[in-house]
Amino acid sequence: MFVKMNSIEKVREMDCFGCFGFSFAIKPKKVLRSSRVIGNNTSQEMLLDDDVDYDDAFYNGDMTDTGNGDKCGFQSPRKRSEEILMHLMQHGLICREHPVKETHIVVRSEDENGNKTVNEYIRERWIGAGSYGKVVLYRSHLDGKHYAIKAFHKSYLLKIRVAPSETAMTDVLREVSIMKVLSHPNIVNLVEVIDDPTTDHFYMVLEYVEGNCVEGADSPCGLGEITARKYLRDVISGLMYLHAHNIVHGDIKPDNLLVTASGTVKIGDFSVSQVFEDDNDELRRSPGTPVFTAPECCLGLIYHGKAADTWAVGVTLYFLVLGKYPFLGETLQDTYDKIVNNPLLLPDEMNPLLKNLLEGLLCKDPRQRMTLENAAEHAWVIGEEGPIPQFLCWCKRKRLLAVMPDGTETSTVT
């Protein structure tokens, strides 16, 4: 039996299938590779099925890669990410003034009211589920602040294969390593990592952000241009910061854009992000959410992660403004087919500046696609607010410190 659902629910249900690595040629007739879990003709009913055997689904043969990079000696970006992050942390090359707290003892108990506790944190309520674990709202009895804590079972993570020689634990540890080097007002802050080697529990303590961009956007009229512009400016600022630090997010979408009580957007969920050396952002595995996948990723080719992130920004803006997705089919294959082949349709009455911006961001040719830098300078983005403020991050401030001949330090930062 088929279940009717609105667009955001359908996309959320499709989310878990984004890492299967399906490949499509122009005007595809079938999936180029098949999977025991999904099969060649994915039905909407299957996309709605929560009872997937994830131990087998995340890695099944060669399904995790979208291209043939091994044949041309292409090194796994995942492995490179780990090496690069290790080098950055060993040499203190992190963009944080204050390091993430690391705790190696877990004390699980209850307070006088019967609420479960983890160390200083008192459980209040369940927030949601992530890729591999749950997210719970806790309050610290030390500072009284709320925190969103991602909770994992290490034994479960080690069972899930995401690549021939890697498990979900690799993904989580890479996410932690990436967040340890980041500090930006439009990036969710990692506060503490709790990992007791004597227990099966692993916790990421994150700043708590009240809402996300999905709320209020899934309607026929979306959020409206004013709010969408405000959100987009924050997303561009945060994503430009990531790209400047050679990090590709890999899963930009409204669900991963959190909104504070004051209306500031923060990018979260770095579970599929990658780190690169220099400007080499080539990827061949596309593990993000299908409806936000760039056309070049659907074709099974080696692609550039930054351009794919930019496409996802365009899909996100389209959704925020119109309350729907530009390319969404009834099945996974149909969705990828539409992304690759269907033209972008925009309302005739749309603001011409906004239409021009969306056409630039959602250009199917990544070589012609608008860059984030150009988007930041676009007339619609600037609006009445003016240019997006330049953020001088901590590592850049350190580089701007000049040592005078007499040994005194002076700063060129204003």
- Residue 187 C-alpha from the chain's centroid: 11
Amino acid 88: pLDDT: 67
* Marked catalytic residue, from 15, 65, 251, 337: 251
pLDDT category of residue 61 using cuts at 50, 70 and 90: very low
What would the mean pLDDT of 90-108 be, rounded to a whole number?
82
Amino acid 159: pLDDT: 93
Q: Where do the domains of the chain lie, and which CATH numbers do they carry?
A: 77-207 (3.30.200.20)
| Range from 43-47, 78-82, 95-99, 224-228 that averages highest in pLDDT | 224-228
**Percent of the chain clearing pLDDT 70 (strictly above):** 70
Q: What is the largest CA-CA distance in the chain?
A: 79
Which of 22-36, 113-127, 236-250, 264-278 is predicted with the least confidence, judged by mean pLDDT?
A: 22-36
For the chain, how far is it from start to end, CA to CA, in angstroms?
Answer: 63
Whose CA is closest to 299, among 22, 19, 7? 22
Whose CA is closest to 13, among 48, 53, 37? 48
Residue 379's DSSP bridge partners are none
- Tell me the per-residue pLDDT of 322-371, one tens digit each, with 9 for 90 and over: 999 999 999 999 999 999 999 999 999 999 999 999 999 999 999 999 99
The residue type of 50 is D
Residue 45 reports pLDDT greater than 70? no
**Percent of the chain clearing pLDDT 90 (strictly above):** 51
What would the mean pLDDT of 70-95 be, rounded to a whole number?
57
Residue 35 reports pLDDT greater than 90? no
Residue 138 reports pLDDT greater than 80? yes
Residue 126's DSSP bridge partners are 136
Amino acid 400: pLDDT: 58
Residue 282, burial from CB neighbour count under 10 angstroms (0-12, 13-18, 19+): middle
What is the Cα–Cα distance from 357 to 353, expressed in whole angstroms? 6
- Tell me the per-residue pLDDT of 365-411, one tens digit each, with 9 for 90 and over: 999 999 999 999 999 999 988 999 887 766 666 665 544 455 555 44
Amino acid 339: pLDDT: 96
Is there a binding annotation on residue 150?
Answer: yes
- Tell me the per-residue pLDDT of 16-34, one tens digit each, with 9 for 90 and over: 333 323 333 333 333 332 2
Residue 70 reports pLDDT greater than 50? no
What is the Cα–Cα distance from 336 to 168, expressed in whole angstroms? 25
Task: Give me the DSSP letters along 235-277.
Answer: HHHHHHHHHHTTEE-S--SGGGEEE-TTS-EEE---TT-EE-S
Whose CA is closest to 331, among 34, 11, 61, 9? 11
Amino acid 3: pLDDT: 36
What is the Cα–Cα distance from 178 to 176, expressed in whole angstroms? 5
Amino acid 221: pLDDT: 67
What would the mean pLDDT of 119-147 be, rounded to a whole number?
92
What is the Cα–Cα distance from 256 to 172, expressed in whole angstroms? 16
Q: Note the pTM of the prediction, 2 decimals.
A: 0.77
What would the mean pLDDT of 278-282 be, rounded to a whole number?
80
The residue type of 9 is E
- Residue 386 C-alpha from the chain's centroid: 27
The residue type of 87 is H
Residue 131 reports pLDDT greater than 80? no
Active site residue 251: yes
Strand segments, DSSP code E, in 115-183 are 116-118, 121-129, 134-140, 146-153, 161-163, 166-167
Angle between helices 305-322 and 352-361 (to 10 degrees): 150
Amino acid 93: pLDDT: 62
What is the Cα–Cα distance from 325 to 318, expressed in whole angstroms? 7
- Mapped onto helix, strand or coil, the DSSP state of residue 109 is strand
